[in-house]
Amino acid sequence: MRHLKFLPVLLTLACSAPQVPATALTTTAPVRRCLLLTTNDSESNFDGAIRAADGKLSYTYPIARVATAKKAAVAARPGGVLLLEGGDVLQGRFLERQDGDRARGAVNNWPIYEAAGYDFGVLGNHEFDNGPKVVRRALLGLRKFRLLAANVDGAGTALDPTEPGRPEGLFGATALADCGGVKVGLFGLLTPSTRTISDLGDVKLKPLEETAKASIAALKASGAETIVLLSHLGVDDDKKLASDVSGIDVIIGGHSHTRLEQALHVGGTWITQTGARFDRLGRVDLAVGADGRLVDAQTTYALEVLDAHQPDAAIAAETDKLLAELVPEKLIGKRAYAWDVMDIAHSQYAVRATHAVAQYAERTRKLHVDGGLLNTGGFRSHTIYPPGAVTNLEVSAIHPFRNRVVLVTLTGAQLKDVLEHACGHAQNLEHGANSILWGVQARCDVARSPARYKYVEQKPVAIEQHGDRAQDVTVGGQPLVPGKKYTIATLDYLARGGSSYLPLQLGEHQCLDGKVFKADDKNACGETALLSDVIQEAVAAGELDRE
């Protein structure tokens, strides 16, 4: 077997304890309190961890535990609690229905959040995986759970927020809520990368900084004392926005799946994030003085393990109803080692899954495949699976997208451009920027010049400058030859230029059934197996346990 290698891209985030600034409010007068309970990137992981014993399966029901936590908090502080979600909800295995209707799965998901007591959330990029029409259909089912996205302009599109009988619209830019006597102003922001990593259709996105300033001004004019941003931007962009825009008291973050054990303080703004998939419940306990200012010294942030709460019976029952509509769960094999789906850039599972994809393509087409390439953003669930039984739906949770394996033939120079794309984003937490490779090895030197693209409507259309960050590139253990052709197994999403992989889009493509791959046809290669099916086959054959 050839060497198992992945592109050595290290994503690091220093989360040191914040230096709490001294507050100007020194009075001992009582403060008003508002408790924010938060989750983000929960991906409709309603059933939670799967337990397998004696061939039987059971679940932990984290969203039902969130509902219990909300009820307990409200009982302790009537009128003083808000439950918030940081985006990426219409995703995950609860869209994998037996009838194949993923749109219906999306429509079913948000009402569970509403029933669990969620008050406000922000639209995430994965809300748009099935297009804006599906988002609209899903929003029509909500009455109390209010989604915000101030930089999303859906006017005149499939996501036009106007709707008869809904004077506030299907979703909003801002909202004002009374929480424990504090007038809390909320607004939401969606990552601009949604344009390239999901399907916005003709929905437009407004500039972030300009939108944030306008939202804060509008909320202040409406009487808001404390400003809370529901951000689906990622922690790096949250820090930049907090540095560039004044007036945001708290950022409830999402998108980067970062578990912040301690809040970050940037420019007087508290930045929080809880991980992903109901990994933790955030508790931001705001203290607001008589003058309407946040009292930093008395405001607290903590993460709570949901196992501390019992599942709410009604929400657990609703989860079971949806489970009955999903693809049936069954045991498909075993894993000899833990699958790390948290630190994907250094995950043994990720490299072996990429190898399995290359092997599958080689067997199917009966031709030599030089290597495999998957993107880190294609691995979801943000979980470490212990050794033991593996189910089909665990695999679907890790690989929830309906991506199919394709072959891309590239010259050595083009393959170098692909690696430059990954190396060029080595310090960026945005999902999908980095590669997991098998059969190909490279060293990233981020001190060298990155690739530079020409963009049209936020999409790369041409390489303006070839990068020089991918060093010591080898294929099959041999140095890369610029003029030689190499065949790589990857995903149709990436071959179309998804996650800004323009260099892959420029290669020669073929479906595994031998048909011509068309970049503008999302149903191309529609007769071939899904990535999740390929991995399930590899698990059943024990391929992922072999060195």
Q: Work out the average pLDDT over 172-194.
A: 97
Q: Work out the average pLDDT over 183-205.
A: 94
Q: Could you tell me the strand order of the sheet in which 508-511 lies?
A: 435-438, 371-375, 485-491, 405-411, 508-511
Are β-strands 226-232 and 250-252 bridged in parallel, bridged antiparallel, or unpaired?
A: parallel
What is residue 96's predicted lDDT score, i.e. its pLDDT?
79
DSSP SS3 for 326: strand
What is residue 52's predicted lDDT score, i.e. its pLDDT?
61
404 contacts: CB under 8 Å, gap ≥ 6: 491, 492, 511, 512, 525, 526, 528, 529, 530, 531
What is residue 380's predicted lDDT score, i.e. its pLDDT?
83
- Reported as a pLDDT band with limits 50, 70 and 90, residue 378 is confident
Structure tokens given for 187: 């607004």
Q: Are 446 and 471 in contact (CB under 8 A)?
A: no
What is residue 2's predicted lDDT score, i.e. its pLDDT?
37
What is residue 428's predicted lDDT score, i.e. its pLDDT?
36
Q: Which residue has the higher pLDDT, 54 or 306?
A: 306
Per-residue pLDDT at 384 exceeds 90: no
pTM value > 0.85: no
> How many residues belong to the chain?
547
Are β-strands 250-252 and 269-272 bridged in parallel, bridged antiparallel, or unpaired?
A: parallel
End-to-end CA distance of the chain: 8
Q: Summarize pLDDT for 126-150 with one digit per residue, the tens.
A: 999 989 999 999 999 999 999 999 9
Question: Which range, of 32-36, 61-65, 527-531, averages the lowest pLDDT?
Answer: 527-531
Question: Which range, of 20-29, 141-150, 275-284, 371-380, averages the lowest pLDDT?
Answer: 20-29
Q: Work out the average pLDDT over 59-66.
A: 95
What is residue 28's predicted lDDT score, i.e. its pLDDT?
58
CA 457 – CA 460 distance, rounded (Å) = 8
DSSP SS3 for 404: strand
One-letter amino acid at 302 equals A
Query: Of 497, 375, 492, which is closest to residue 434 (Cα–Cα)?
Result: 375
What is residue 23's predicted lDDT score, i.e. its pLDDT?
43
Write the Ramachandran bin of 21: left for phi over 0, alpha for psi from -120 to 50, otherwise beta: beta
Neighbours of 197 (CB within 10 A): 22
- Reported as a pLDDT band with limits 50, 70 and 90, residue 26 is very low
Write the Ramachandran bin of 293: left for phi over 0, alpha for psi from -120 to 50, otherwise beta: beta
CA dist list (Å): 159 to 95, 124, 371: 20, 14, 40
Q: Work out the average pLDDT over 41-54.
A: 80
Per-residue pLDDT at 9 exceeds 50: no
Torsion angle (degrees, nearest 10) of CA 305, 309, 310, 313: -100
Report the DSSP beta bridge partners of residue 491. 405
Report the DSSP beta bridge partners of residue 227. 185
- How does DSSP classify residue 545? G
Domains and CATH numbers, the chain: 32-325 (3.60.21.10), 331-545 (3.90.780.10)
Give the sign of the dihedral formed by CA 363, CA 366, CA 368, CA 370. negative
- Reported as a pLDDT band with limits 50, 70 and 90, residue 51 is low
- Reported as a pLDDT band with limits 50, 70 and 90, residue 162 is very high
Half-sphere exposure of 251 (CA within 13 A, CB side): 34
Q: Chain-wide mean pLDDT for the chain?
A: 89
CA 264 – CA 20 distance, rounded (Å) = 9
CA dist list (Å): 432 to 86, 229, 518: 19, 24, 22
Report the DSSP beta bridge partners of residue 300. 285
- Reported as a pLDDT band with limits 50, 70 and 90, residue 56 is low
What is residue 202's predicted lDDT score, i.e. its pLDDT?
94
CA 98 – CA 324 distance, rounded (Å) = 9
Half-sphere exposure of 5 (CA within 13 A, CB side): 16
CA 23 – CA 293 distance, rounded (Å) = 9
Distance of CA 425 to the CA centre of its chain: 17
Q: Summarize pLDDT for 461-503 with one digit per residue, the tens.
A: 899 999 999 999 999 999 999 999 999 999 999 999 888 889 9
